[in-house]
Structure formats: structure tokens, C-alpha cells
């Protein structure tokens, strides 16, 4: 059995906490990591405050295989992620010649002012993560990956990072439509199935629209046979409850 590979995600930025910017990175990263066999176990959103970033980085990097961060690596005064990560690791931070070389692909020497050089500040010992969109790199230090907050840039950085990651068994998720059955009717039977199939986790997800509730049951697990058995049990349950199979 492949050992699980876990991850946390840290979203950094006042703009998310004030609601000014609606996050589009969490869902993308969650789906992406799940798809490659990395289990996202926790997400936090913190403001542009160094002590908060340092505390969250240290809490999360020590607990999970990987920590990914987004946001706060631009040229303005509120971009304090690199300095905060350096502090979290207790390492020095300075303008990195490799990062300057990357910025030179975009900026003429005269345009590479102090603010833009801020984007080349990289903690000692970090490896750079290429940015094909706007050149200012992200970086990896130990098990922490620091990425941009702009979705297009973050997504390309994640594509660069993914092949370097350890991965575990991929989560298999099967979705079953409850087709009109209310949660309260199948909940008892579903609970019994969950108990009888300890290798899978089963979730029930109602959504609500103008046409009323729609319920979906999701069976998740890393053992294909165990998932298939539980899915089959759920189908049997729904059939019985709809009355076109054997009575309960």
C-alpha cells in the first residue's frame, strides 16, 4: 500500500478576508491535488500580517507532507509572503541572482527598480518556481511551495511543481444521484453502509435550487474494489427505498 501524501493550503491576503476578491484558487488546487494523489487536509486564509503568516506556515508545514501558499509575492509593500516564510524557517532572505535573471527576461535593466527587485527576494536555500506569465518566480523551501495569487500564474506554477511531488494512491470518487429521494429517507441505510465499508468514506450532499433539493451521494476511497462494493451497496439501498427491489 502506497503511503498517503498530505498537503495543506495557505491563502494569504486581506482582499480575500474582506470579500473584495472571491477566491478562485482553493477549489482549483483541491481538485488538482486530489487528481494527482495528494490529499488536501486543511486550508487556512490569513491576512497580510507577518506574525499570522509565520504562525500558519509553521503550524501547517510541520504537520503535512507539503504546504502550498498563494498570494503576497508581488512588488508592493503588502507583499510580505517571502519575508514571512524566511522568518518561519529562520533563514536569511535577500535578492537572489537567479530570480533577477528571470526578471531580466521581462524588464529592461533600467526598469528593474527597487520595488521590482523585491520580487527577487528569495529565502536562503530555496529553489525557484518558474513563472511563464510574468516572470517573477515562486519558490520552494523544504516542503513549502510559495505561489502567486493571480489564478493564471498560480495554475502554471502548479503545473511546474506537480511532477516534482511525491504522490500517493489517487482518491477514487464515485457520485450516485439519489434521484428524488430525500436525505432523511436514505440516511439510516447509508450510515449502516458506511459502518460496513470502513475502507471508504461516504458523503451525502444536498444542493438547493428553484426546483428544490437535489441529493448526491459520494463514495470515496483509494481501494477500487472497496469503492465498487460500497457503491453497489448504495445502489441497492436506493433501489430498495424506491420500492422497485426487495423490501428492506
| Touching its own copies, residues 31-70 (CB under 8 A) | 31-35, 40-48, 52
Shortest distance (Å) from residue 209 CB to its own copies: 8
User: Residue 185 and residue 191: Cα distance in Å, rounded?
Assistant: 11
Please list every residue from 143 through 182 that binds its own copies, using CB under 8 A.
150-153, 171, 173, 175
Shortest distance (Å) from residue 125 CB to its own copies: 26
What radius of gyration, in Å, describes the C-alpha atoms of the chain?
Answer: 23
Of the listed pieces 10-18, 123-131, 161-169, 222-230, which binds its own copies according to CB under 8 A?
10-18
Q: For residue 203, state whether it binds its own copies (rule: CB under 8 A).
A: yes
Candidate residues 170, 220, 240, 242; the one interacting with its own copies per rule CB under 8 A: 220
Name which of 232, 230, 220, 217 is nearest 183 in CA terms.
Answer: 217
Number of chain positions touching its own copies (CB under 8 A): 74
Helix (H, G, I), strand (E, B) or coil at 206: strand
Of the listed pieces 123-131, 138-146, 201-209, 240-248, which binds its own copies according to CB under 8 A?
201-209
Name which of 160, 144, 10 is nearest 70 in CA terms.
Answer: 10
Name which of 237, 226, 228, 127 is nearest 192 in CA terms.
Answer: 237
Residue 184 backbone dihedrals phi, psi, to 5 degrees: -65, -20
Amino acid at each position: 500500500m502506497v503511503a498517503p501524501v498530505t498537503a495543506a493550503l495557505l491563502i494569504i491576503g486581506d482582499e480575500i478576508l474582506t470579500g473584495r476578491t472571491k477566491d478562485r484558487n482553493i477549489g482549483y488546487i483541491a481538485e488538482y491535488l486530489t487528481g494527482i494523489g495528494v490529499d488536501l487536509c486543511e486550508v487556512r486564509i490569513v491576512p497580510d500580517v507577518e506574525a499570522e503568516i509565520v504562525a500558519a506556515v509553521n503550524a501547517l508545514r510541520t504537520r503535512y507532507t507539503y504546504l502550498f501558499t498563494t498570494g503576497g509575492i508581488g512588488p508592493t509593500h503588502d507583499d510580505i509572503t517571502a519575508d514571512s516564510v524566511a522568518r518561519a524557517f529562520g533563514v536569511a532572505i535577500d535578492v537572489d541572482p537567479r530570480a533577477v535573471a528571470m526578471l531580466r527576461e521581462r524588464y529592461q535593466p533600467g526598469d528593474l527598480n527597487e520595488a521590482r527587485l523585491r520580487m527577487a527576494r528569495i529565502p536562503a536555500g530555496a529553489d525557484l518556481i518558474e513563472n511563464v506569465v510574468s516572470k517573477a518566480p515562486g519558490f520552494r523551501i523544504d516542503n513549502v511551495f510559495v505561489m502567486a495569487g493571480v489564478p493564471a500564474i498560480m495554475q502554471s506554477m502548479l503545473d511546474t511543481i506537480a511532477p516534482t511531488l511525491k504522490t500517493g494512491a489517487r482518491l477514487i470518487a464515485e457520485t450516485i444521484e439519489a434521484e428524488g429521494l430525500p436525505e432523511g429517507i436514505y440516511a439510516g441505510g447509508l450510515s449502516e453502509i458506511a459502518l460496513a465499508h470502513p475502507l471508504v468514506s461516504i458523503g451525502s450532499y444536498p444542493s438547493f435550487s428553484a426546483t428544490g433539493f437535489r441529493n448526491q451521494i459520494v463514495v470515496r476511497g483509494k481501494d477500487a474494489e472497496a469503492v465498487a462494493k460500497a457503491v453497489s451497496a448504495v445502489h441497492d439501498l436506493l433501489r430498495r427505498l424506491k420500492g422497485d427491489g426487495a423490501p428492506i
